[in-house]
Structures are given as C-alpha cells and as structure tokens.
Amino acid sequence: MTRNLVWAKPNIDSYQKNILSGHSSFTLWLTGLSGSGKSTLAQELEVKLYDMGVHTVILDGDNLRHGLCRDLDFSEYGRLENIRRVGEVSKLFVDSGIVTLVSLISPYREARDEVRNLFDDESFIEVFVKCGIDTCIKRDPKGLYQKVKKEGLRGFTGIDSPYEEPFNPEIVIDTEISTIEECVVTIIDYLKSHERLNVISKS
Ligand SMILES: Nc1ncnc2c1ncn2[C@@H]1O[C@H](COP(=O)(O)OS(=O)(=O)O)[C@@H](OP(=O)(O)O)[C@H]1O
Ligand SMILES: Nc1ncnc2c1ncn2[C@@H]1O[C@H](COP(=O)(O)OP(=O)(O)O)[C@@H](O)[C@H]1O
C-alpha cells in the first residue's frame, strides 16, 4: 500500500510547534462505555485547560461519526476503522502542538494499543473512564439503552457488543464514586505531576 510513497518532511518540527504553543502536546484518550462520562469529562477538561492557556481539540466519537467517519457503522470493522482514523487524526493534531482530547468508546484493546504505538511514551495517555453497565443504563443520557430495550437496537457496547477494559491505562477514573469535578482534578494532577503542562519556551 505504501510503495512508491516518499514521506514529505516538514521544515518545522513538532518540538518547534510546541514552542509556539507554549506547552507540550499529547493525546488524552478517554475510553469507556456509552454513558460512562467520556464526553462530559472531555468538555470539562477543555474548559480547565483553556483557562490554563492550553490549546486543545476534542475528537468525540458521536461528532466525528457525522463527518469524517460517517461511512462507518458499529460492526467490528466499523469500530476498528473508526479507532484507527481517530488515532491518525489525533497524531496530526499532537504533531501540530495541540493537546487532543479523544472521547471514543474504542472497545478493542488491541486497536487502542495500535494507536498508542503511533506516539512516543509520554504523548499518549490512556484514561479508562470506568463505570458499571448498570449505572450507564440508569444514566442513559441519550436514551440509547432504552432503545436497546424497547426498540431492539442491536450490537450495543456492553450489551451485545464487547468492551475490553484496558490492562494498564495511565489513569483510571471511576465516575460512579467521583464527581465530575473530582475526575477533572485527578486528570489535571496527573498531567502536572508528569510535567505535561510545563511551559515550553525558546531557550
Ligand atoms: N451500537 C452502538 N454501540 C455503542 N454506541 C452507539 C451505538 N449506536 C450508536 N451509538 C452512539 O455512538 C457513540 C459511540 O461512537 P464511538 O465512535 O465512540 O464508538 S466506537 O469507538 O467506534 O465503538 C455513542 O456515544 P457515547 O454515548 O458518547 O459513547 C452512542 O451515542
Ligand atoms: N463523575 C462523572 N464524570 C462524568 N460524567 C458523570 C459523572 N457523574 C455523573 N455523570 C453523568 O453521566 C453522564 C455521562 O454522559 P456522557 O458524558 O455523554 O458519557 P459518554 O460520552 O461516555 O457516553 C452525564 O449525564 C454526566 O452528567
């Protein structure tokens, strides 16, 4: 597939783009069941990071499936291709100096690990947004679990389609026992303690 292609190397590298941004860039990959809290946390985190002067973009599964990924369904292939595409897009943003907040069920461990392999060790932070299926069903923010029950919606994650929990995520957020604010603080604390929010400037 990649035969006869030559990589076009840009004149400005990602470190120089980080200097322009004033901070390092990385992907925060929020994975979890529908209703676990991925979108809510990505949105709250973005506000917090904005206030700290950090440039961000949110890549939310629901939104991307209206455009970039609108040709994909929820079959295994559709989800794997979705994860692959969002991984590649997140890499483009990170290479451009932008912190990328991904909110994607991304139910397959191996597919998430393939995305991780696109990045250096520090630049991919997997966040397991942990929440039991019963709580997700109770929350049902979009009424989709009701649709599974009442309208026979098939292939729904956690019901009749698999979700593989990460073995070794950088961060685990349990949204059943922590408030939204507490979850945000946990993530920001992780980023600070791992020096991901340090100011970068030309020396
Ligand atoms: N069958 C099925 N299973 C799971 N989710 C479904 C399904 N059909 C539609 N939806 C809605 O699509 C959102 C998940 O899209 P993702 O792109 O994150 O899914 S995946 O990573 O490709 O598995 C998901 O958004 P979130 O609730 O924010 O997770 C749902 O709103
Ligand atoms: N600690 C928490 N973190 C995130 N969401 C929470 C938390 N506690 C309760 N919620 C609620 O759970 C729901 C999660 O919905 P959403 O963010 O759309 O989930 P997802 O994007 O994973 O499908 C929201 O209604 C949110 O207010």
Asked if pLDDT for residue 42 goes beyond 70, the answer is yes
| pLDDT for residue 3 | 86
Assess contact for 119 and 103: CB atoms under 8 A. no
**φ, ψ dihedrals at 131, nearest 5°:** -165, 130
Dist CA 185 CA 203 (whole Å): 31
How much distance in Å is there from the Cα of 14 to the middle of ligand 1? 32
Give the whole-number percent of the chain exceeding pLDDT 70: 99
Asked if pLDDT for residue 203 goes beyond 80, the answer is no
**Sheet of strand 171-174: strand arrangement:** 56-60, 99-103, 27-31, 124-130, 171-174
CA distances from 118 to 69, 91, 99, 123, 140 (A): 20, 7, 15, 9, 33
- Using CB distances shorter than 6 Å, the residues near ligand 2 are 32, 34-41, 103, 139, 141, 175, 178-180, 183
Domain ranges for the chain, please list them: 14-132+163-192
- 0.90 cut: is pTM over it? yes
Say which ligand is closest to the CA of 139.
2
Q: Which two tokens stand for residue 118?
A: 């696109």
How much distance in Å is there from the Cα of 17 to the middle of ligand 1? 33
| pLDDT for residue 119 | 98
SS (H, E, C) 55-97: CEEEEEHHHHCCCCCCCCCCCHHHHHHHHHHHHHHHHHHHHCC
pLDDT band (50, 70, 90) for residue 75: very high
ipTM of the complex: 0.99
Dist CA 99 CA 132 (whole Å): 28
pLDDT tens readout for residues 114-173:
999 999 999 999 999 999 999 999 999 999 999 999 999 999 999 999 999 999 999 999
The response to whether 118 counts as a known ligand-binding position is no
How much distance in Å is there from the Cα of 144 to the middle of ligand 2? 14
Q: Which CATH class is domain 14-132+163-192?
A: alpha beta
Choosing from 62, 73, 80, 163 the residue with most ligand 1 atoms within 8 A of its CB, the one to mutate for a pocket test is 62
| pLDDT for residue 155 | 97
Dist CA 106 CA 119 (whole Å): 17
